[in-house]
């Protein structure tokens, strides 16, 4: 089963506008995102009586898997302007 997580197919769709990862497009993405949310929720519940430690640990747990999200996003992370801006850019390139 581990081999299903090691393939090179994207797990997340790129956002149409902005920067980052969109929604999952593969079951691996849904599992990864659910585990990520469960990890953050579990850590916050376990450390609820220690607010400073909880803040530090939750921020680190939130940022730690970002390279995996980036590597598994279709087309990678880059700023996207949406369809309208892409059409304008294509028109400019055609005129050259």
C-alpha distances out from residue 76 to 10, 20, 83, 91, Å: 9, 8, 17, 24
- Distance from chain centroid for Cα 16: 13
Give dist(CA 76, CA 64) in Å, integer: 17
Task: Give the pair of three-digit tokens for residue 29.
Answer: 């993405």
CB-based contact 12:74 (threshold 8 Å): yes
Domain limits, the chain: 12-95
What is the predicted pLDDT for the residue at 63? 95
Per-residue pLDDT of the chain (96 residues; tens, 9 = 90+): 666 667 788 999 988 888 888 899 999 999 999 999 999 999 999 999 999 999 999 999 999 999 999 999 988 888 888 776 556 666 666 665
């Amino acid at each position: 089963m581990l081999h299903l997580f090691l393939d090179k197919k994207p797990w997340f769709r790129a956002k149409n506008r902005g920067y980052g990862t969109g929604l999952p497009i593969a079951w691996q993405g849904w599992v990864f995102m659910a585990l990520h949310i469960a990890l953050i929720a579990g850590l916050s519940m376990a450390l609820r009586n220690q607010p400073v430690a909880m803040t530090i640990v939750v921020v680190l747990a939130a940022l730690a898997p970002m390279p995996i999200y980036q590597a598994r996003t279709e087309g990678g992370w880059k700023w996207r302007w949406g369809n309208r801006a892409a059409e304008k850019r294509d028109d400019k390139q055609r005129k050259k």
